[in-house]
């Protein structure tokens, strides 16, 4: 197909999407020069219809741990479809669900011995809220400020950032957020014995890849036990070996009562989520024969999702991607730190395994501070979006800033990322930061972006 025809087709796809799905999304992608057509996605690489090769350093927010379209997961799904098995009968025992639950619980360990399957992270968080209430007979749910737990009403009730809540009316009552990392605030709230659960990400991803002090989670767990509150970890981003171990919980030495998994669980190919929990929590929901189906969902346990989960686990372990996340994460952290050390606008490179963030800060030099503040006044995300845009357009790297902290660039490539790809990424980030450090081109780009945003 000629380039001109491809361009017309690409335009048509976006125009139809804008007309029938979400025009503002298309507008935003165009502003950022990221409205491209991906034709083929393999491992950490994405190939576009106009012949570009993009290296993915976002992984769909930690979905693609095994890489895009891993051949073994694709093959397992193909076979599952070909066998014409019971995909969604609903009134049967789903054979693959038991097997996947067994494997997940074996890897999670501790108190986690049962699983409830869902189709997204938000749905998993909703289930955790209901199960905690049923188990404790309390209504309150406590969470940490700036967390991201999902955008359904219950999950959203646990998120403090007004951007996500505004316009959506009253959310769940008896929900509260406290500063992440503050044991004092946690104990003050738990003392009243009103809270069914404290739901927390072991590393706050969208809040800016915030890694807690080594003993925060252990102490939080003890406080929860003392006051009869369930200790629930949202490992939707951190789980499935993203930080090096199967769960981030394993690195912090905690034994949660429930863990929510999703995203990478099905190799990035089928929607799936899972809530792992103790026998006691499970029994308090499915407590009698009439309550055998009191919490369920149509697509939960569907055979494609379960098959994808089993195949993904096998790939993660056969290819030792946890160890690889630890080793490559250490390498990438060292390289980024060394490459960015001299720039005053880079505050810190931090993270665990291959979940990393580069935090930027306002420049001190007056020649940089003036444009920085001017563009910040237009939109707080402007600086980060120029970084993202330049990395994408000029260097072929897909990244994003954190959803609740625009000053942190998220670095989370598929766990199969190769050293040459990491080296090229480090060089690209350095070039873009160097550019931001000189008042010319970077800031005139920001001006162009601001103009386009207001014109269109």
Ligand X SMILES: Cc1ncc(COP(=O)(O)O)c(C=O)c1O
Site residues, ligand X (CB under 6 A): 61, 120-122, 125, 148-150, 201, 205-206, 234, 236-237, 262
CB of 314 to ligand X, least distance (A): 22
CB of 327 to ligand X, least distance (A): 24
CB of 236 to ligand X, least distance (A): 3
CA distance 367 to 369: 6
Name the residue among 324, 348, 347, 149 with its Cα closest to residue 233.
149
By C-beta, is 355 or 428 nearer to ligand X?
Answer: 355
CA distances from 456 to 21, 23, 176, 221, 451 (A): 18, 12, 39, 50, 9
CB of 412 to ligand X, least distance (A): 11
By C-beta, is 205 or 400 nearer to ligand X?
Answer: 205
CB of 235 to ligand X, least distance (A): 8
CB of 205 to ligand X, least distance (A): 5
- Specify whether the CB–CB gap between 419 and 44 falls below 8 A: no
By C-beta, is 65 or 284 nearer to ligand X?
Answer: 65
CB-neighbour burial class of residue 221 (10 A; exposed 0-12, middle 13-18, buried 19+): buried
- Specify whether the CB–CB gap between 154 and 129 falls below 8 A: yes
- Specify whether the CB–CB gap between 336 and 430 falls below 8 A: no
CB of 22 to ligand X, least distance (A): 16
CB of 400 to ligand X, least distance (A): 11
CA distance 237 to 263: 7
By C-beta, is 100 or 118 nearer to ligand X?
Answer: 118
CA distances from 275 to 22, 128, 201, 432, 445 (A): 31, 7, 14, 40, 45
Q: Which residue is nearest to ligand X (CB)?
A: 121
- Specify whether the CB–CB gap between 76 and 308 falls below 8 A: yes
**Residue found under tokens 């890694």:** 211
- Specify whether the CB–CB gap between 407 and 345 falls below 8 A: no
CA distance 356 to 336: 10
CA distance 106 to 214: 25
By C-beta, is 148 or 241 nearer to ligand X?
Answer: 148
Which H or E element spans position 209?
none
CB of 429 to ligand X, least distance (A): 23
CB of 60 to ligand X, least distance (A): 9
Name the residue among 30, 24, 232, 15 with its Cα closest to residue 130.
232
By C-beta, is 410 or 430 nearer to ligand X?
Answer: 410
CA distances from 292 to 89, 91, 114, 192 (A): 16, 12, 14, 32
By C-beta, is 48 or 152 nearer to ligand X?
Answer: 152
Name the residue among 308, 306, 316 with its Cα closest to residue 268.
308
By C-beta, is 178 or 432 nearer to ligand X?
Answer: 178
3-state secondary structure of 297: coil
By C-beta, is 122 or 335 nearer to ligand X?
Answer: 122
By C-beta, is 122 or 400 nearer to ligand X?
Answer: 122
- Specify whether the CB–CB gap between 272 and 299 falls below 8 A: no
């Amino acid at each position: 197909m000629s380039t001109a025809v491809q361009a017309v087709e690409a335009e048509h796809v976006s125009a139809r999407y804008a007309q029938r799905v979400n025009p503002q999304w298309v507008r935003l992608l165009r502003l950022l020069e990221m409205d491209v057509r991906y034709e083929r996605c393999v491992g950490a690489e994405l190939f576009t219809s106009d012949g570009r090769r993009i290296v993915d350093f976002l992984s769909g927010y930690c979905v693609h741990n095994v890489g895009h379209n891993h051949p073994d997961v694709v093959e397992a799904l193909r076979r599952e479809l070909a066998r014409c098995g019971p995909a969604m009968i609903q009134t049967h025992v789903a054979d693959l669900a038991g097997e996947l639950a067994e494997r997940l619980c074996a890897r999670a360990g501790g108190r986690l011995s049962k699983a409830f399957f869902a189709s997204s992270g938000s749905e998993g968080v909703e289930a955790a809220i209901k199960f905690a209430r049923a188990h404790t007979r309390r209504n309150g749910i406590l969470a940490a400020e700036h967390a991201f737990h999902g955008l359904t009403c219950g999950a959203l009730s646990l998120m403090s950032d007004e951007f996500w809540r505004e316009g959506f009316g009253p959310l769940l009552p008896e929900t509260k957020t406290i500063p992440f990392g503050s044991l004092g605030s946690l104990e003050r709230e738990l003392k009243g014995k009103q809270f069914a659960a404290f739901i927390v990400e072991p590393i706050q991803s969208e809040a800016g890849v915030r890694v807690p002090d080594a003993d925060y989670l252990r102490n939080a767990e003890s406080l929860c036990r003392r006051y009869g509150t369930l200790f629930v970890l949202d490992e939707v981003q951190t789980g499935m070996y993203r930080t090096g171990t199967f769960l981030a919980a394993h690195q912090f030495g905690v034994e949660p009562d429930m863990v929510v998994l999703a995203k990478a669980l099905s190799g990035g190919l089928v929607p799936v989520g899972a809530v792992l929990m103790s026998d006691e929590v499970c029994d308090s929901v499915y407590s009698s024969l009439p309550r055998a189906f009191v919490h369920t969902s149509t697509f939960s346990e569907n055979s494609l999702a379960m098959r994808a989960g089993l195949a993904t686990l096998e790939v993660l372990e056969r290819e030792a991607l946890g160890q690889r996340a630890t080793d490559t994460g250490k390498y990438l952290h060292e390289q980024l730190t060394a490459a960015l050390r001299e720039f005053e606008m880079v505050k810190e490179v931090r993270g665990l395994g291959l979940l990393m963030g580069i935090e930027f800060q306002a420049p001190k030099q007056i020649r940089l501070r003036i444009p920085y503040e001017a563009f910040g006044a237009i939109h707080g995300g402007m600086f980060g979006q120029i970084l993202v845009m330049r990395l994408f357009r000029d260097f072929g790297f897909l990244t994003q800033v954190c959803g609740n902290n625009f000053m942190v660039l998220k670095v989370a490539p598929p766990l199969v990322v190769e050293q040459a790809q990491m080296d090229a990424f480090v060089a690209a980030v350095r070039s873009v930061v160097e550019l931001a450090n000189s008042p010319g081109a970077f800031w005139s780009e920001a001006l162009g972006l601001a103009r386009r945003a207001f014109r269109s």
